[in-house]
Amino acid sequence: MLTYVLTALLAAVPSAQEPGPAPAPDAVVYDGELRNGWQDWGWSPRELGKGPAQLDLAGYGGWILANPGFSGEFGALVFRFRASERFGEALEVRLDAPVAQPFPRVRPGMAHRRVLEDGWQEIRVPMQELNPDGRRFDRILFHAALDVREAQVEIDRVRLEPAGGEQNEAPAPEKRGALLHIDLKAPGHRISPLIYGIAFDPRLDGRDSHQWTLGATARRWGGNPSSRYNWRLGNAWNTASDWFFRNVDYTGVPGFTYQRFLDSGLERGLASALTVPILGWTAKDTRSFSFPISKFGPQRRTDPDFPDAGDGYSPSGSPLMPGPASGTSVEAPPESIGEWIAAIRARDEQRGRRSVRMYILDNEPMLWSSTHRDVHPEPVGYDELLQRTVDYATAIRKADPKAVIAGPALWGWPAYFYSAKDAAAGFVVSPDRTAHGGEPLLAWYLRKLEEHRKRTGTRLLDVVDVHFYPQASGMGVGPEGDTSPEACARRIRATRALWDPSYVDESWIGEPVRLIPRLREWVAQNAPGLGLSIGEYNFGAEGHLCGGLALAEALGQFGEQRLDAAFYWTYPAADSPAYWAFRAFRDYDGKGARFLDVSLPTVSTEGVSLFASTDEQRRRVVAVALNLQPAAHVGAALELSGCGRIGRGRAFAFGPQSGRLEETAAPAFEGCTVRQPLPPYSLTVLELELAKAAKE
């Protein structure tokens, strides 16, 4: 069902079939069963003795192997490991003894691993890492250093390799030099703080406290259920095609009602972006569903918790004609949404603080005929999208004249150019676009809203909002996604679709996307002055280094490309590489140190990305350097033109050998040149303080 994540940690490690000769019997710890006096000392649920050890490492679980009185000299701990992709890089290994100082904890990285068949990895951890002082030990511990939900793992062929025995080491990383440059004399431009946004997940909010430690600056209330949220009932939603078209009540989950969502944003200092329904229907209760088996007959799938709730497809896969929308929903005209905004503003006025930074006009309307086909079975066209925008945005503007309104929240590449009517008829025919002069949907939409502004004197849209998900094979969302070396390289390259006109998208798109420049051109040509937002984005494999590096690249580009807002979907798992990518920009030292407010021009070399920022006084520089190469160790020489002299600096790094972003040796610098090692597949933050302010 899932691609095994640990196959991805090996961009630099050659594929192999089987390891070399079996070790001497007295080195074997576990091979299908416990061997040579080794004992099982717990602690997580497990099944042993019938082949590979089956372990459930949820809740920071682990497994202890012990052999009291054991001794010997060894060169490495070697074992085989297999886990689901969601386990990410959570595995940690260490030795132990009854009375001793703690042994080092090691998270196996790329240099420790090689690919076997069927998702297995062979992991070899040298004793100089596990036991650098050569102390006696009699226990081996495997455990999850992260609280991972998908934590079923398999471990087998555990052995202690004799000192001087088989090495099985990956080739040493290639060493390269790189000249990097930051121009402190350039004017630079301000970075919008809203580019560091995340999404709100009502199923998890209040349970995953790590969302507050990311350093995120904004949260978006959105997703498919938001299209049918009934603000009058407070907690009534419809899960749409995501989950059997059910009306649901998440009462008891902190933050789920809109009031609690907005209040928690204010309490935590996060700006709130609120998706408002313009679909026209919202959930009428918290128990109805659209395709009951008792009425529509057998269906392809049914809700395991509500066997009468079907998925709306016959057993053969044909879509069933929905019943009246009133079966699950009530009408939600513009006046109702206007009343909601007025209620929000009334609460704001009582406390003297604005709680909504941005209102977003619904969610992915060009997919309504699929995601919400129980109440909107007909595909949305150019004219309907425009009319709903005018009607609902007018109601919002009336209730909140200072509102920042964003839309149309288009789902992806085809929806920028064509309507759902075009998709249904076929893009070659594209009857709706043809009827509108052959103009791309979003360009036409912006032009018509600008015409409305000129005619009425009222601007109905302030920010152009679209969604972006790379479409190349194996990308995935969140913890999912192919993590083979090829897919990892493709994932990192896919970030170029955000900005690079020379990058031809490696998917069915097959042409340059250059998303941010394209949107900026459409705005300049059709509705000058509007901001740009990416309301949803995700590069997948967030538990793998390549997923974290792709996210770090995107965050850097958002600032460099002057994006106004961006919201990750939803938010990275605790201590995942994607989590540390956020922290690199927002809280790299755990004490609030962050990427600064003014973006500076940089020059980097192939395989290395560099993003730089400074403060208004130009006394400090914070740079994020990414080594996107899985097998090359880069010795970087970073020059700062116009700096005068660097006074002092700090460095923080995250990569294959570390499980967190942590401070490393201070960077070496002389004059305006910094020398800094960049390990393979790593992220490095450099904080530099100038002896005197730089001059523009």
What pLDDT band is residue 174 in, cutting at 50, 70 and 90? confident
Contact status, residue 243 vs residue 303, Cβ threshold 8 Å: yes
Q: Which pLDDT value is given to residue 252?
A: 58
Instruction: Give the per-residue pLDDT at 169.
Output: 46
CA distance 268 to 522: 35
Could you tell me which residue, 45 or 612, shows the higher pLDDT?
Answer: 612
Per-residue pLDDT averaged across 13-33, rounded? 55
Structure confidence by residue, pLDDT tens digits, 559-580:
999 999 999 999 998 899 999 9
Lowest mean pLDDT among 122-131, 205-214, 355-364, 674-683: 205-214
What's the pLDDT score for residue 651? 97
- Give the pLDDT confidence of 189-243 residue by residue, as tens digits: 999 999 999 998 765 555 557 889 999 999 999 999 999 999 999 889 999 999 9
Q: What span, in angstroms and rounded, lies between the C-alpha atoms of 638 and 649? A: 13
For residue 633, the model assigns a pLDDT of 93
Residue 464 has pLDDT above 50, yes or no: yes
* Cβ count near 649 (within 10 Å): 17
- Element at 547 (helix H, strand E): helix 545-560
Reported confidence tier of residue 151, pLDDT bands at 50, 70, 90? confident
Question: Residue 472 class from Cβ within 10 Å (0-12 exposed, 13-18 middle, 19+ buried)?
Answer: middle
pLDDT of res. 266: 96
Integer Cα distance of 389 and 22 in angstroms:
69
Structure letter (DSSP) for residue 188: -
Helices (H) and strands (E) in the chain, counts: 14, 35
Contact 187, 696 (CB under 8 A): yes
Residues in contact with 653: Cβ distance below 8 Å, sequence separation at least 6, in sequence order: 661, 662, 664, 679, 682, 683, 684, 685
* pLDDT number for residue 180: 96
pLDDT grade, residue 673 (50/70/90)?
very high
Q: What is the mean pLDDT of residues 262-268?
A: 93
Query: Which backbone phi and psi does 603 adopt, to 5 degrees?
Result: -130, 130
The lowest-confidence range among 66-75, 453-462, 549-558 is 66-75
- Structural domains of the chain, with CATH: 5-162 (2.60.120.430), 174-187+601-690 (2.60.40.1180), 192-282+328-470+516-536+562-571 (3.20.20.80), 291-326 (no CATH)
Q: What is the dihedral of CA 63, 67, 70, 73, to 10 degrees?
A: -30
Q: Is 646 helix (H, G, I), strand (E, B) or coil?
A: strand
> Average pLDDT of the chain?
90
The whole-number pLDDT of residue 15 equals 30
With a pLDDT cut of 70, the percent of the chain lying above it is 91
Is residue 406 helix, strand or coil? strand
| Res 78: pLDDT | 94
pLDDT value of residue 3: 31
pLDDT at 417: 98
pLDDT at 123 over 60: yes
Predicted confidence (pLDDT) per residue in 582-626, tens digit: 999 999 999 999 999 999 999 999 999 999 999 999 999 999 999
pLDDT of residue 320: 97
Whether the predicted pLDDT of 166 surpasses 80: no
Cα separation, 403 vs 400, whole angstroms:
5
How many residues are recorded in the chain? Answer: 696
pLDDT attached to residue 44: 87
Q: Going along 163-284, which residue ranges are E strands?
A: 174-183, 189-190, 197-199, 218-221, 236-238, 247-249, 271-276, 281-283
Q: Poorest-confidence range of 12-16, 177-181, 530-534? A: 12-16
Per mean pLDDT, which range of 7-21, 395-409, 669-683 is the poorest? 7-21
Torsion sign, CA atoms 564, 611, 270, 573: positive
Task: State the pLDDT at residue 694.
Answer: 65
Contact yes or no for 607/634 (Cβ under 8 A)? yes
C-alpha dihedral over 495, 500, 501, 507, to 10 degrees? -10
Q: Which of 51-65, 139-153, 405-419, 559-573 has the lowest mean pLDDT?
A: 139-153
Neighbour-count burial for 52-91, b at 16+ CB within 10 Å, e otherwise: bbebebbeebbbbbbbeebeeebbbbbbbbbbbbbbbbbb
Residue 8 has what pLDDT?
Answer: 29
Within 13 Å of residue 637, how many CA atoms lie on the same side as its CB?
A: 7
Q: Which residue has the higher pLDDT, 534 or 478?
A: 534
Q: How far apart (Å, rounded) are the C-alpha atoms in residues 155 and 48?
A: 10
What 3 state SS string does 410-464 have? ECCHHHHHCCHHHHHHCCCCCHHHHHCCCCCHHHHHHHHHHHHHHHHCCCCCCEE
pLDDT value at 541 more than 90: yes
Determine which helix (DSSP H) or strand (DSSP E) holds 549, and give its type and residue range: helix 545-560
Lowest mean pLDDT among 20-29, 147-156, 178-187: 20-29
pLDDT for the residue numbered 353: 97
| Res. 143: pLDDT tops 80 | yes
Residues 613, 195: contact at Cβ < 8 Å? no
Phi-psi region of 49 (alpha: psi -120 to 50; beta: other; left: phi over 0): left
Question: What is the reported pLDDT for 11?
Answer: 31
Cis check for the bond before 43: say yes or no (omega within 30 of 0): yes
- Beta-sheet strands, E only, within 84-173: 91-96, 113-115, 121-126, 139-144, 152-162
**Cis preceding-peptide flag for 570 (omega within 30 of 0):** yes
DSSP state of 573: P
Alpha-helical segments (H) within 311-440: 334-351, 368-371, 382-399, 413-417, 420-425, 431-435
Task: Identify whether the C-beta of residue 476 lies closer than 8 Å to the C-beta of residue 540.
Answer: yes
Find out whether 238 and 246 touch, Cβ atoms under 8 Å. Answer: yes
For residue 254, name the pLDDT band (cuts at 50, 70, 90).
low
Return the minimum-mean-pLDDT range out of 16-25, 50-59, 81-90.
16-25
454-482: average pLDDT: 96
Residue type present at position 224:
N
- If residue 560 lies in a helix (H) or strand (E), which one and from where to where? helix 545-560
Residue 518 reports pLDDT greater than 90:
yes
Residues 388-445 have pLDDT tens digits of: 999 999 999 999 999 999 999 999 999 999 999 999 999 999 999 999 999 999 999 9
Distance (Å, rounded) from C-alpha 204 to C-alpha 210?
Answer: 11
Residue 105 pLDDT class (50, 70, 90 cuts): confident
CA–CA–CA angle 264, 250, 569 (5° rounding): 60
Closest CA to 417 of 509, 534, 495: 509
Q: Which two tokens stand for residue 13?
A: 């490690």
Cβ-contact 369, 377 below 8 angstroms? yes
Report the pLDDT averaged over residues 341-346. Answer: 98
Q: What is the pLDDT of residue 423?
A: 97
Rounded mean pLDDT, 538-554: 96
Omega before 298 cis (within 30°)? no
The secondary structure of 23-48, three-state, reads CCHHHEEECCCECCCCEEEEECCEEC
Query: What pLDDT is recorded for position 119?
Result: 79
